[in-house]
């Protein structure tokens, strides 16, 4: 009794040749760490910029427009809603991944700093304890001398 209706299955999205090419370009840009990702969530604008390769991508999510710019040309086209959402999903995932890396790095730095501070406090307390013991032994020696 296990059968599936074909109309319930989600068909994989097939991109046009141009969409596939643009998606590939954007994915390759996202893989390069020197590509900056800037987001204007309120305006629905997403920017990718790679100064080394002189290449920029602007995605206008509200209008489903993607603009590709290099040193010679700038082309902006309106694309299918699903395609632009797929591109945005990839951009957002990479932005999130990079933010997690920064967060992890900051967390590690804070943990190391806290550990060093903790160790210094322990050393400081040990030194104070030794100084107190020295004072006590000096006072005991003075008291014994007086008692004689």
Count of residues in the chain: 148
The pLDDT value given to residue 129: 76
Confidence band of 139 (pLDDT split at 50, 70, 90): low
pLDDT digits (tens, 9 = 90+) for 58-102: 999 999 999 999 988 999 999 999 999 999 999 999 999 999 988
Token digits of residue 148? 């004689």
The pLDDT value given to residue 144: 59
SS3 at position 46? strand
Token digits of residue 110? 């804070």
Residue with tokens 């969409």: 19
pLDDT digits (tens, 9 = 90+) for 43-53: 999 999 999 98
Domain ranges for the chain: 10-92
Per the CB < 8 A criterion, the answer to whether 56 and 38 are in contact is no
- Strand order of the sheet with strand 74-78? 36-40, 45-50, 55-60, 65-69, 74-78
**What is the dihedral sign for C-alpha 25, 31, 37, 41?**
positive
């Amino acid at each position: 009794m296990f059968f599936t209706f074909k109309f319930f299955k989600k068909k994989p999205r097939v991109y046009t040749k141009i969409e596939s090419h643009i998606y590939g370009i954007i994915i390759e840009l996202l893989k390069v760490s020197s590509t900056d990702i800037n987001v204007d969530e309120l305006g629905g604008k997403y920017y990718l910029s790679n100064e080394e390769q002189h290449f920029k991508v602007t995605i206008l999510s509200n209008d489903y427009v993607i603009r590709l710019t290099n040193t010679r040309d700038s082309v902006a086209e309106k694309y299918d809603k699903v395609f632009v959402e797929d591109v945005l999903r990839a951009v957002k995932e990479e932005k999130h991944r990079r933010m997690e890396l920064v967060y992890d790095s900051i967390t590690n730095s804070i943990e190391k700093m806290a550990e060093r501070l903790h160790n210094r406090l322990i050393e400081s307390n040990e030194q104070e304890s030794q100084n107190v013991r020295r004072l006590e032994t000096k006072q005991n020696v003075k008291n014994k001398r007086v008692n004689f």
